[in-house]
Amino acid sequence: MLLEARPEFSTGVTRPLCAASLLCQVEPVGRWFEAFIKRRNRNVSASFQELEDEKESSEESEDEEFQLEEFALLKSLDPKDWKNQDHYAVLGLANLRYKATQKQIKAAHKAMVLKHHPDKRKAAGEQIVEGDNDYFTCITKAYEILSDPVKRRAFNSVDPTFDNSVPSKGEGKDNFFDVFSPVFERNSRWSNKKNVAKLGDMNTSIEDVDSFYSFWYNFDSWREFSYLDEEEKEKAECRDERRWIEKQNRAARAQRKKEEMIRIRTLVDNAYSSDPRIKKFKEEEKARKEAEKKAKADARRREHEEKEKQRQAELEAVRLAKEKEEEEARQQALVAKKEKEIQKKAIKKERQRLRTSCKNWNYFSDNEADSVKMMEEIEKLCDRLEVASLQSLNESLSGSSKEDGKTAVEKHISEVNAQIKREKEQEEARMKQSTKSADQSGSGGGGQQQVLVRG
């Protein structure tokens, strides 16, 4: 607004008050875009704040609806048995249950407090039970459970209105999709994955059917059973008692979780065995495999007929070669046997010849004791010397005197005894080494055991 000019001042225009207006194209974004769409759909002109005020007024109207509801169930509740109550029904949310939002839960609780708070009822002339025995405790507990996301999730897991039943194998024989579709839809609420596979219909492809059963056979459920814990660890008097309660509760949860997975697996097994599409796919696959099998069988038969003659010829050649090898092996065995018998007779002959030569010379001794000792040494020679050595020794004895024969025999005896001594020493050395290794092993094992005990 311009002030009125004084008389002493003259009025003149020097320039326009503002520049010419420009037309600009503006696009709403964010919450302003939402308000724009609502104004356009309703064909009204309203600001963003007006729409927000309208939203708040609608929520207040919802609160009024909750206040108007009657809850005859409340007076029949036992405050001491609040854990077994239906919290949604207590707050008047039985129709919404797990789909209820936090705003709806808060509004329902507000309505219940305004209507059933002990002070309100007392002011209205109602006789109020003192302490926690009033049914208003059930309302407080219901709101405490449902307003906490963790506690609400635990209660939803054991929702008393949820149908845990599973159709049997033959139940969906004539109306498979009508029987099993609602059950899978009902149980899909427990899935950790948002995109839950659907059962489909008779026109569903085999890939989608396989994907469906693969999803449900590997179903990832968030359902847990902590709400059914028998004891609350916060009530324990000491740490050990809290640990014991927690241990018992974990075991009970694990058992219920196992039973839940068995229930889901039974549902999937029954559906798979009753699914008409599976039967159709199996029949088609069986027909395809039989056709392929027949074609392969014909090709194999022709190939077999062509190769049969060649195989028979090869078998005959192998048989003849085997018979030839066996005959050669038999002949070689006979030759080896004859050579062994000849060798045996030869060594026996040479041994007898040596004994006879030594006996004729009275074993190169003049007294009986030396003769017995020499006789034992001769037997050693007979046992240890080979045919060639025995023949050489016998030739030496046949063409020599008694003294030369004795020298030759004693030379062989000393060689044999030396050989026996070496073998004995080697055996003793091996025994000592074996004993030493065993002692070291026992000592090492004891040391290790000692270290383990100390640790």
Q: Are residues 195 and 128 in the same domain?
A: no
**What distance in Å separates the CA atoms of residue 26 and residue 109, rounded to the nearest whole number?**
44
Highest mean pLDDT (candidates 54-68, 235-249, 290-304, 361-375): 290-304
Q: Are residues 354 and 268 in the same domain?
A: no
**What distance in Å separates the CA atoms of residue 364 and residue 106, rounded to the nearest whole number?**
129
| Length of the chain (residues) | 455
Residue 226's pLDDT is 87
Say yes or no to pLDDT of 63 above 90.
Answer: no
From 94, 122, 157, the end of a domain falls on 157
Dihedrals φ, ψ of 373, to 5°? Answer: -65, -45
Does residue 406 contact residue 364 with C-beta atoms inside 8 Å? yes
Instruction: Confirm whether 325 is domain-assigned.
Output: no
**What distance in Å separates the CA atoms of residue 51 and residue 39, rounded to the nearest whole number?**
9
Instruction: Confirm whether 292 is domain-assigned.
Output: no
Rounded to 10°, the helix 368-384/387-398 angle is 140
Instruction: Confirm whether 415 is domain-assigned.
Output: yes
Instruction: Confirm whether 25 is domain-assigned.
Output: no
Residue 455's pLDDT is 36
How many independent structural domains does the chain possess?
3
**What distance in Å separates the CA atoms of residue 421 and residue 30, rounded to the nearest whole number?**
108
pTM score, two decimals?
Answer: 0.51
- Token representation of residue 318: 């192998």
152 pLDDT tier (thresholds 50, 70, 90) = very high
- Token representation of residue 322: 């085997």
Instruction: Confirm whether 405 is domain-assigned.
Output: yes
Q: Are residues 399 and 366 in the same domain?
A: yes
- pLDDT (tens digit per residue) in 99-140: 999 999 999 999 888 888 888 888 888 877 776 678 888 999
Q: Are residues 356 and 434 in the same domain?
A: yes
Residue 453's pLDDT is 41
Q: Are residues 140 and 197 in the same domain?
A: no
67-76, 262-271, 296-305: range with lowest mean pLDDT: 67-76
Say yes or no to pLDDT of 260 above 60.
Answer: yes
Q: Are residues 93 and 146 in the same domain?
A: yes
More confident residue, 153 or 42: 153
Q: Are residues 194 and 268 in the same domain?
A: yes
Does residue 367 contact residue 398 with C-beta atoms inside 8 Å? no
Does residue 222 contact residue 192 with C-beta atoms inside 8 Å? yes
454 pLDDT tier (thresholds 50, 70, 90) = very low
Task: State the CATH number of the domain containing residue 120.
Answer: 1.10.287.110
What is the span of the domain harbouring residue 428?
350-444
Residue 393's pLDDT is 78
Q: Are residues 208 and 152 in the same domain?
A: no
Tokens 């040494």 correspond to: 377
Instruction: Confirm whether 1 is domain-assigned.
Output: no
Residue 64's pLDDT is 42
- Token representation of residue 252: 């009970």
Instruction: Confirm whether 150 is domain-assigned.
Output: yes
Three-state DSSP class for residue 60: helix
Say yes or no to pLDDT of 205 above 80.
Answer: yes
Instruction: Confirm whether 39 is domain-assigned.
Output: no
Q: Are residues 119 and 204 in the same domain?
A: no
Residue 55's pLDDT is 54
Q: Which of 363, 389, 386 is nearest to 375 (CA)?
A: 363
Mean pLDDT taken over the chain: 81
**What distance in Å separates the CA atoms of residue 38 and residue 429, rounded to the nearest whole number?**
106
